[in-house]
């Protein structure tokens, strides 16, 4: 069953707490738009929510590299290659977004 436990299992509560906060931030941004708050103040909140999502992504990736990818590369072969290809594509998406 080792393959079923994803890398982020130890960070699950931290991730969920950060995501709840990010969800609240996004809802707060909608409220600001609805209440005609000054654009620059809304932009500050958008940057904060973006940074929160970014930190969720980096934690997920870190756990993924340290578990799924590390296990796959230790075994080698086509599965290892596929895991690496997949991780690299995810990193490229993050760097470019």
**Least Å distance between CB 97 and its own copies?**
5
Would you say the C-alpha torsion 84, 20, 55, 31 has a positive or negative sign?
A: positive
> DSSP 3-state assignment of 36?
coil
- Minimum Å gap between C-beta 39 and its own copies is 4
CB-nearer residue toward its own copies: 2 or 40: 40
- Cα angle 8, 11, 63 (rounded to 5 degrees) comes to 35
Contact indicator for 52, 22 with CB cutoff of 8 Å: yes
Structure token digits, residue 75: 């075994």
Binding site for its own copies (CB under 8 A): 4-9, 12, 15-16, 19-20, 22-23, 26-27, 29-30, 33-34, 36-40, 42-44, 46-47, 49-51, 53-54, 56-58, 60-66, 68-70, 73-74, 80, 84, 86-88, 90-97
């Amino acid at each position: 069953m080792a393959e079923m436990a994803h890398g982020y299992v130890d960070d699950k509560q931290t991730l969920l707490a950060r995501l709840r906060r990010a969800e609240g931030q996004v809802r707060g941004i909608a409220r600001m738009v609805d209440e005609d708050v000054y654009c620059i103040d809304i932009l500050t909140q958008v940057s904060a929510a973006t940074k929160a999502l970014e930190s969720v992504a980096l934690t997920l990736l870190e756990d993924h590299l340290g578990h799924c990818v590390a296990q796959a590369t230790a075994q080698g072969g086509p599965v290892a290659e596929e895991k690496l290809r997949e991780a690299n594509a995810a990193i490229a998406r993050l760097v470019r977004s």
